[in-house]
Chains A and B, each alone.
Chain A
Amino acid sequence: MELPAQLEARFAELLRRYPRKRSALVPMLLFAQDQFGYLSDALIEEIARRLDLNVLQVTETLAYYSMLRREPAGKYHLQICTNVSCMLRGGYRILEHCQRRLGIGHKQKTPDGRFSLEEVECIGACTGAPALQVNYDYYENMTPERLDILLETLAQGAPPPPPVPHTSGAVHPRHPDEVPVISRRFGIPDSRTLRVYREHDGYRALEKALGMKPEEIIEEVKKSNLRGRGGAGFPAGVKWSFVPKDTDKPKYVIANADESEPGTCKDRPLMEFDPHQLIEGMLIAGFAVGAHQGYIYIRGEYRYVMNILDEAIAEAYAAGLLGKNILGSGFDFDLCTHTGAGAYECGEESALMESLEGKRGYPRIRPPFPALVGLYGCPTVINNVETLSSVPAVILHGGEWYASLGTPKNGGTRLFAISGHVNRPGIYELPMGYNLLKMIDVAGGVANGKKLKAVIPGGSSTPLLKAEECDLAMDFDSLARAGSMLGSGAVIVLDEETCMVDVARRIMRFYAHESCGWCIPCREGTAWLRQMLDRFHAGGGRSEDIPLIGELSQNMLGRTFCPLGDAAAMPTISIVRKWRHEFEEHLKGRCPYKPAEVLAGAD
């Protein structure tokens, strides 16, 4: 099959990146889809041929990823997010408006083929909610009026340029309590370039690290109490120390940039404004564990972020900061990006590695853990983008300095993405252990002067806190004591007029959509609960459903193959327990908070 030269070049480049050809599968499919609009049988056969796979291996892999499609979409593919953060700020209103205006529903196309519509899960624009994507371009802080203007411009031809900076809420006047460490270059013009990065201490940490022994680096990171920023909060230094020293297998460093936890949009600005900081962090991690290859697994929706990273990587190669004999130290390190294609599950580290190997993103049986058996069966360090971005500061200023910024056992600062019902949704870098109520004030307080009802403290998979429980320090241990989790640091604020049943419904809808289908409790449990909560919120609830919702969630909890089942169960359990009266109110008929029209969702 003849392919356009540009795509050919891209394929050739992809095939050079990986030790195993199959790894190129998902990016190849996505790039081919960008070119042709969809994946035809001929295209699939061609890609299978090039990767020495059989067609089934390709079709079953692509069937897993929600961004890959077998049917053409419209010229402008509108993807409207209705997940919690967007929902709270009118995401459904935007969706309905769009449906009415275009006369099409979820996954439908206008007869002229110009527009297609899809209700999507969190696209990582929570501080700019409600948000949508047209193809790969982000449009945030949407209103029905702005949507009308956008649709009209699109209908006339060229799309208007997406607003800059892309991630709304990332650049804002600093609050006095903020401690800019990893976000300190946010807002500086051209901060993503190597020149500006170098002007602001860029790559000085790497120089320092290359002069240290690997064990010293790991020791320094251990001292810093830097804990995993992805959600689990595992100490990064300890994780690195598990990587075997004496092995003849290659080792890998992976940056987990598959940021998809609803409410979370901190990695996006980190890579957008400061890609070199991540590269530097990965270089140091690679040097510390003796790896010579790094991958940044970035979610498919963040295409422009990947382009920024690719440019930065190219700059770094040109400056001798990547490749062979870095800065004359004799240390070699190669780095490249790898795009996902729409799957929350791939944020789970073992599923991410399966996906990086070009397979369906099913999690792996653990143990063995990635530090011993990871990518391609080799020892692998996999960390969140924010964790790795914090590493240069730790090395440059010392672990003790970093640790002193936070609370005991919770070193440093953290990027909190505060979204939902606040006056100034945004990304704020605050020290670990900062008080949650104060944090809401940092973000301008509860919107429109309403009263606080609840807070989701760390992304949609964490148990919710009632307003009266919110006077606590935001660090891993304090939240664990409060029966919740710090998670990804995505704080979603819910005001007094929020229907908690609706929140539970929307959260479960997300997990049912993202369940990979591997294990029974998660696959069947989330789907069952989704149907039940949909019905319940629409007024079809029965009194026996209320304990059943809690019990079914409990039945999933701790019994699933990977943490996704827990992630679905925990918020649901907390909502049923803490706001049971709201469920009871729903038994009387329709939702007491909102008219029923809000429920016009898709499938």
Chain B
Amino acid sequence: MAEQKQIRLKIDDREVTVPAGTLVIEVAKRLGIEVPSFCYYPGLSLQAACRMCLVEVEKAPKLQTACTLVAVDGMVVHTNTEPVRKARRDMLEFLLTNHPLDCPVCDKGGECELQDMTFRYGADSSRFVELKVHQPEEKWSELVYFDMPRCILCFRCVRICDEGMDVKALGVGSRGVYSAIIPNRGDHLECEECGMCIDICPVGALTSGTYRYKTRPWEMKYVATPCAHCSNGCKTTLSVRNNQILRANNRDLSGFNREFLCAKGRFGFDFVSHEARLKFPLVRENGAQKPASWEQAVRIVAERLKAIRDRYGPEAIGVLGSNRTTNEENYLLNRFARATLGTNNVDHHRTADYAGLAAALGEEAPRAMLRMEELREAKAILVIGNEPSYQNPLVAWQIRWAVRNGGARLYIINAQPIKLRRRATCFVQADEAEALRHLASGGGQLSAETRHALQELETEIRKESDVAIVFGAELYAKAIGDLVDFGRQLNGQTRYMALGDYANSRGASDMGLLPEFLPGYERVSDAAARERFGRLWGTELSVVAGLDARAMLNEAGEKIKALYVVGSNPVKTFEVPAEKLARLELLVVQEIFPTETTAVADVVLPAASAYEKEGTFTNTAGDLQMLRKAVDLPGVRSDFDILRILAHQLARLGLGQPFAARTPEEVLEEIRQHVRGYAVSLANLLAGGAEPVHPVLEADPKAYDVPVGAIFSSRDTLFSSGSLTRYLKMVRSVNEARLSYEELRNAK
């Protein structure tokens, strides 16, 4: 790219050099000079409606709006002269004429931009003695309320809904002083319920149905932690008061998602305090589950595991991990299975083929992994499979950002007319794996019409360079090989992102919750790797090939006598009949809620949720982030603690070694030292940043394959989150939650 032209200008007597085309308001921000504004919002179209950012420019006849003024060479700007201060005072006076002075009851009081600006720039008294325009408050959905008199018409909500979310559920009604924001269905909203409009509202006009009138902003503590739901790894800032999460948002822009959050990230925190939470261990006695103490429950699990292992051998025990437990927990579970129990029967519900991608990329992986932040800077994006708008909302947001603000070209191959096609340069409706086969080698079973469309897409995409490729669970194993083959033919450095389903889907895979891989995709068949981890875990690791999840579940009661399930609901996910699991001699489940699987378990151990513990998550793009504990729930223990206690008990019975690490930090240290690709900097991580991880699978990529059906997506929508769905009261309260996946997609 050509070197961008630099220009020099002066703001408040300070010289500054910026790239040509920068807006004056941005230049000021860079210098740390505040130019107040309501309607200007980075990344959204310009409005120049609030007139708060008026500045004095030498040689200009009147005050100019800094938000639309492009800096030019030699410009001299003043932001703090009497005319400018007066203009701000006057604008605030106008704004406050019809704004109610109900700050004491307004939810926004204390974090309101209008309040702040009035404090800083406004007059101390009002000269307005006329009648204010008034309209009663409206409820637009269970989650969104609108108080028209408080609205200052900055149009941020309208723009974020249209430009940012591509939903266009908010518009402007009437005209002049009676102008008001209106919802798309007359008196209510029908939308994705992302709540972006609430967060972006500078005043208390749009308020959240879940947080309304509960407390005040300064009364809470704020905990920024990765969201517990999908695999995108958005940071959600939990507002906590009295050990209760009252709301979630990302106004502090703590994560790479910046202002973005979807309905689940914003409203899906209430499962934590759901009354159905498991709060004490359950042990089956004479056919019925009865509450038990932790000591009792753990002792029973340890004794029976030991007995089954002694009787049938380690291969009779299966371990099923979770998509939602932390890396540290997954790592410990891996150790628990392979070192303590001595079995390679370890797996989890795989929602994307991360191992396959690592295998296909091989040595190239560190360069070719597409990070979440990089996606918004991409200039050409190819989306294959998945429905990012509903399954991976941040990915869709980033793509829309890239198209809108970066002029990126978007290419889509999908069997369904997914929502992103509206922003696409080229959309081809075709079976993803077949289309890929066609692109990579010219084969594939496709109609002539589709072939033609694909050829057009191919011609265009071959003109691009540095293409960012995002794909879903439709592609796995060989198909990913095809994809990477195709990607290598493109100009520049092609980068990839596989899209999984849940908060730590990627982490579960990276930490080796797969039968054939140790942490960091080191093969169990590799003696050196076995030797290394064996030494670390204080035992010799088994070389016997492990069963995958489906095989374990099929063999339940047959070859498999005991199943240890952590945060997973195989009865529903893998559609195994519950009776089949009931035939197991021992079924232990660590869960946060009762599920179809806990119902048939012999021992249920209540676990802490993601908002109640510490550790790390790896998002689908390989961004490692730290969890922060927001609340406590008495009675439960983190999966980390449960595994540690259990390993200790088993060691006392003569099985394996107790885990020396007492905290997630200690395990993270071990991961950093021993898991390939996880040697990240701690400083950034501790400061709340995201660190890229890039495990490499070197040995013989062609040998990698997975059976059909081993990798599949749950196809969650914006209003569902696997087993947690039924416990998300607020998210499920909206009308749209009742729509099916197809209905949601087709809604206009």
Could you tell me which A residues sit within 8 Å of B by CB distance?
54-57, 59-60, 63-64, 66, 343, 360, 365, 512-521, 523-528, 531-532, 535, 548, 555, 558-561
Do residues B153 and A521 form an inter-chain contact, with CB atoms below 8 A? no
Q: A64-B172, A517-B178, A559-B51 are in contact. List 4 more A-B contacts (CB 8 A).
A: A55-B184, A60-B171, A515-B177, A559-B87
Query: Nearest 6 A-B pairs (CB), nearest first?
Result: A60-B171, A517-B179, A527-B177, A531-B130, A524-B94, A56-B184
Nearest Cβ in chain A — how far from B101, in angstroms? 15
CB distance from B40 to the nearest CB of A (A): 12
Q: Which residues on A sit within 8 Å (CB–CB) of B97? A: 524, 527-528
* Minimum CB distance partner of B173 in chain A: A63
Q: Decide if B177 touches A512 in the complex (CB within 8 Å).
A: yes
- Indicate if B5 sits at the interface (CB-CB under 8 A): no
Assess A519 versus B68: contact at CB under 8 Å? Given A524-B98, A528-B130.
Answer: no
Bound-complex Cα distance A59 to B130 (A): 30
Interface residues of B in 36-57 (CB under 8 A from A): 46-52, 54
A523 pairs with B54, CB closer than 8 A: no
Nearest-CB residue, chain A, relative to B171: A60
A516 with B94: in contact, given A55-B184, A56-B169, A59-B182 (CB under 8 Å)? Answer: no
> Which residue from chain A places its CB closest to the CB of B130 in the assembled complex?
A531
Chain A residues with Cβ below 8 Å from B90 are 521, 555, 559
Residues on B with C-beta less than 8 A from A527 are 97-98, 133, 176-177
CB distance from A179 to the nearest CB of B (A): 35
- The complex places the Cα of A561 from the Cα of B176 at a distance, in Å, of 13
Q: Which residues of B contact A516 (CB under 8 A)?
A: 175-176, 179
User: B379 at interface (Cβ–Cβ under 8 A)?
Assistant: no
CA distance A525 to B133 in the complex (A): 13
Whether A532 pairs with B130 at a CB distance below 8 angstroms is yes
- B49: chain A residues within 8 A (beta carbon): 518-520, 561
Contact in complex: B184, A515 (CB < 8 Å): no
Chain B residues touching A, majority SS:
loop
Contacts A520-B94, A528-B97, A559-B87; A515 near B51 (Cβ below 8 A): no
Q: Which chain A residues border B112 with CB–CB below 8 Å?
A: none
Q: Is residue B647 contacting chain A, with contact meaning CB distance below 8 A?
A: no
Q: What secondary structure prevails in chain A residues at the interface with B?
A: helix
How long is the Cα–Cα vector from A541 to B51 in the complex, in angstroms?
A: 30
Q: Is the CB of A561 within 8 A of B48?
A: yes
Question: Contact between B176 and A526 (Cβ–Cβ < 8 Å)?
Answer: yes
What's the nearest-Cβ distance from chain A to residue B405, in Å?
A: 17
A517–B172 alpha-carbon span in the complex (Å): 10
Do residues A523 and B179 form an inter-chain contact, with CB atoms below 8 A?
yes
Residue of A nearest to B92 (CB): A520
Q: Which of B94, B98, B170, B183 has the most CB of A within 10 A?
A: B94
A-B contact pairs, 17 of them (CB 8 A): A56-B170, A56-B182, A59-B171, A59-B186, A63-B174, A63-B175, A63-B182, A64-B174, A512-B176, A517-B177, A520-B51, A520-B94, A520-B153, A524-B98, A525-B94, A555-B94, A559-B90
Taking beta carbons and an 8 Å cutoff, which residues of B are in contact with A? 46-52, 54, 62-63, 68, 87, 90-91, 93-95, 97-98, 127-128, 130-131, 133, 152-153, 168-179, 182-186, 748
Q: Are A558 and B94 within 8 A (Cβ)?
A: no
- Residues of A near B128 (CB, < 8 A) are 528
Whole-angstrom distance between the Cβ of A235 and the nearest chain B Cβ:
19
Interface centre among A520, A532, A555, A558 (most CB of B within 10 A): A520
The residue in chain B whose Cβ has the minimal distance to the Cβ of A55 is: B184
Q: How far is the CA of A555 from the CA of B95 in the complex (A)?
A: 13
A555 to B172, CA, bound (A): 26
B177/A56 in contact, CB under 8 A? no
Q: Closest A residue to B90 by CB, please name it.
A: A555
- Chain B residue nearest to A524 (CB atoms) is B94
**Chain B: CB-nearest residue to A345:** B175
Q: How long is the Cα–Cα vector from A548 to B123 in the complex, in angstroms?
A: 15
A415 → B minimal CB distance (Å): 30
Least CB distance, B433 to chain A, in whole angstroms: 32
Known interface pairs A521-B91, A523-B177, A524-B98. Does A54 touch B168 (Cβ–Cβ under 8 Å)? yes
Of all chain A residues, the one with the shortest Cβ separation from B86 is: A555
Q: A52 — nearest CB in chain B belongs to which residue?
A: B748
Contacts A558-B63, A559-B87; A523 near B176 (Cβ below 8 A): yes
Contacts of B62 in A (CB 8 A): 558-559
How far, in angstroms, from A513 to B97 measured CA to CA in the complex?
A: 17
- For B50, B95, B130, B131, the residue with the greatest tally of chain A CB atoms inside 10 Å of its CB is B130
Residues of A within 8 A of B68 (CB): 365
Which residue, B51, B52, B95, B184, has most C-beta atoms of chain A within 10 A? B51
Taking a contact as CB atoms under 8 Å apart, the answer to whether B175 and A520 are in contact is: no
In the bound complex, residues from chain B placing their C-beta under 8 Å from that of A548 are 127
Known: A60-B173, A520-B94, A521-B90. A560 touches B51 (CB 8 A): yes
Least Cβ–Cβ distance between A142 and chain B, in angstroms: 28
Which residues of the other chain, A, contact B170 by a CB distance below 8 angstroms?
56
> In the complex, A535 Cα to B130 Cα: how many Å?
9
Of B52, B153, B184, B748, the residue contacting A523 (CB under 8 A) is: B153
Neighbouring B residues of A532 by C-beta, 8 Å? 130
The answer to whether A60 touches B182, judged by C-beta atoms less than 8 angstroms apart, is yes
Contacts of A64 in B (CB 8 A): 172, 174-175
**Nearest-Cβ distance from residue B328 to partner chain A, whole angstroms:** 47
Which one of B54, B93, B131 has the highest number of Cβ atoms from chain A below 10 Å of its Cβ? B93
Instruction: Contact check, A519 vs B51: say whether CB atoms are below 8 A apart.
Output: yes
Give which listed residue, A56, A60, A520, contacts B50 with CB less than 8 A. Answer: A520
Q: How far is the CA of A548 from the CA of B128 in the complex (A)?
A: 10
Which residues of chain A are within 8 angstroms of B127 by Cβ–Cβ distance?
A: 548
Asked whether A524 and B130 contact (CB < 8 A) given A63-B173, A512-B176, A515-B177, the answer is no
CB distance B152 to A520 under 8 Å? yes
- On whether the beta carbons of A531 and B131 are closer than 8 Å, the reply is yes
Bound-complex Cα distance A559 to B48 (A): 11
CB distance from B508 to the nearest CB of A (A): 40
Q: Please pick, from A56, A513, A521, the residue contacting B51 in the complex, using a CB distance under 8 A.
A: A521
Q: How far is the CA of A64 from the CA of B178 in the complex (A)?
A: 10
Given A60-B182, A528-B128, A558-B63, A514 and B176 contact (CB-CB distance below 8 Å): yes
Given the known interface contacts A520-B91, A524-B94, A555-B90, the answer about A56 and B130 at a Cβ–Cβ threshold of 8 Å is no
Contacts of B46 in A (CB 8 A): 365
Task: Report yes or no: B54 in contact with A559, Cβ–Cβ below 8 A.
Answer: yes
Most buried by A among B46, B87, B183: B87
Residues of A contacting B51 in the complex (Cβ-Cβ under 8 angstroms):
519-521, 559-561
For B178, the chain A residues whose CB sits under 8 A away are 517
Q: Which residues of B contact A560 (CB under 8 A)?
A: 51
Query: A587–B177 Cα gap in the complex (Å)?
Result: 28
Q: How far is the CB of A343 from chain B (nearest CB, A)?
A: 8
Q: How far is the CA of A518 from the CA of B49 in the complex (A)?
A: 6
Shortest beta-carbon distance from B481 to chain A in Å: 41
Question: With A and B bound together, what is the CA distance between A251 and B233 in angstroms?
Answer: 48
Q: Whole-angstrom distance between the alpha carbons of A535 and B128 in the complex?
A: 13
Bound form: Cα–Cα A525–B236 in Å = 40
How far is it, in angstroms, between the C-alpha of A528 and the C-alpha of B99 when the chains are bound? 12
Q: Are A517 and B54 in contact (CB under 8 A)?
A: no
Report how far A490 CA is from B184 CA in the complex, Å. 42
- Residues in B with CB closer than 8 Å to A512 are 176-177
Q: B175 and A528: CB pair below 8 A? A: no
C-alpha spacing A531/B63, complex, angstroms: 27
Residues of B within 8 A of A55 (CB): 184-185
Q: Say yes or no: A528-B94 contact (C-beta < 8 A), given A59-B173, A63-B174.
A: yes
Which B residues are CB-close (under 8 A) to A559?
A: 51, 54, 62-63, 87, 90-91
CA distance A516 to B68 in the complex (A): 20
Give, as a whole number of angstroms, the nearest-CB distance from B96 to chain A: 9
Closest B residue to A516 by beta carbon equals B175
Contacts of A56 in B (CB 8 A): 168-171, 182-184
Report Cα–Cα, A527/B54, bound state, in Å: 22
Q: Is the CB of B50 within 8 A of A519?
A: yes
| Complex interface: chain B residues within 8 A of A535 (CB) | 130
- B176 A513 Cβ-Cβ under 8 A: yes
Min CB gap B630→A, angstroms: 37
The smallest C-beta distance from A107 to any residue of chain B, in angstroms, reads 13
